Amino acid sequence: MNIEDKKLIINYLLNHGIDIDKFILNGFTYYKRNHVDILKNSDYVDLLLSMYYDLTFEKTEFNNMKRSFVKKYIYNESAVEGVDILHDKEEVEGLKKMYEYMHSEKIEVNFDIFSIKDLHKKLFSCTLHPEFGGDFRRQFAYLEGAKTNLCDWTYIYFKLRDLDESVKDIRQISSAIKDCHNSRLILLYLDKCVKLGCELIKIHPFPDGNGRTIRCFVNKLMEDGGLPSIYIKKEEKNSYLSAMEKAIDYEDYSGINSFYRFKLCDSIIELDINERINSNDKNKTLKK
């Protein structure tokens, strides 16, 4: 949405006495109620994200969204990876530590592609053998259902080193993206983060915990650009893997890009919109 289009929409809403924040809030409420049907219509999602990022929607304090993500979705992420939250508490706790580290200032020191090693160390920091955290695999690996061979373990370091240029490129534009409120640029930035995540999956650097570590790394880059972290529900895992396979096998990123757009809407709803609705309901109750 360009500046002129943005002005036209804002002026139209204001001239017709429509509250912009409430207008956007209603758009996300409709998305939430009609989620299944809207999954067939990516245009509505793009429009919704455009309104959210382009118009004068006063956003929730970003750190609150990050804390809310860690609080709400650690157990969900564990369930997606088949981790028993009752019997594998050390991995659940490690996942929490990984996201706490991701949100700390410590990760900013010399942050690059190899920061995935530090994230992986945190993920397995509570296990019986934490010393294996951060170690690259030294054996053959494959993805079930994928046609493309994963990186030979002897080339992992070199493949990651090559990807570091992509990380530098993403990091370079993140600060500008964060404050631009331009949905077109924001979604292009999202696509860059998603593509990097796919490339990391193809390398599959660790013996275990690749999905959780790589999603955390991608979420870190997304948050650097002012986007909330995304989460994948257990019932969405097959759709996620199917879209990822197309990206890995055929370099067709349309499916995985679309998937992340839907999940971005979901995170905005869970971490921001719901908080606004609850706050509005409380205010109405207090007024009564």
The tens digit of pLDDT for each residue in 89-107 reads 787 889 889 999 998 999 9
Is residue 250 in some structural domain?
yes
Residue 198 lies in a domain: yes
Tell me which of 37 and 159 has the higher pLDDT.
159
Q: What would the pLDDT profile of 182-204 be if each residue is shown by its tens digit?
A: 788 889 999 999 999 999 999 99
Of the pLDDT bands very low, low, confident and very high (cuts 50, 70, 90), residue 2 is low
Domain that holds residue 83: 61-263
> What pLDDT shows up at residue 18?
75
Q: What are phi and psi of 87, to 5 degrees?
A: -105, -15
Burial code of 49-67, b = ≥16 C-beta within 10 A, e = fewer? Answer: bbbbbbbebeebeeeebbe
Q: Taking residues 154-172, report their average pLDDT.
A: 96
Confidence of residue 3 (pLDDT cuts 50, 70, 90): low
Burial 171-192 (b: 16+ CB within 10 A, else e): eebbeebbebbbbeebbebbeb
Domain count, the chain: 1
Is residue 110 situated within a structural domain?
yes
Question: Which CATH number does the domain housing residue 159 bear?
Answer: 1.10.3290.10
Closest to 256 in 3D by CA, of 282, 230, 287, 223:
230
Give 76-84 contacts, CB < 8 A, sequence gap 24+: 76/231, 76/232, 76/233, 76/234, 77/212, 77/215, 77/231, 77/232, 79/234, 80/211, 80/232, 80/233, 80/234, 80/237, 81/211, 81/212
Mind listing the pLDDT tens digit for each residue in 40-81?
Answer: 677 888 888 888 887 765 555 566 667 667 766 666 665 656
Average pLDDT score over the chain: 83
Cα gap 178→189, rounded to integer Å: 10
Q: Is residue 33 part of a domain?
A: no
Identify which has the larger pLDDT, 117 or 288: 117
User: What is the reported pLDDT for 80?
Assistant: 57
For 232-269, what is each residue's pLDDT tens digit?
888 888 889 899 999 999 999 999 999 999 999 888 88
Q: Is residue 231 part of a domain?
A: yes
- Of the two residues 181 and 186, the one the predictor is more confident about is 186
Q: What is the pLDDT of residue 272?
A: 82
On whether residue 172 sits in a domain, the answer given is yes
Does 30 fall in a domain?
no
Judged against a pLDDT cut of 50, whether residue 86 lies above it is answered with no
* Band of pLDDT at residue 280, cut at 50, 70 and 90: low
Count of all residues that appear for the chain in the document: 288
| pLDDT higher than threshold 80 for residue 34 | no
In a domain, 137, yes or no: yes
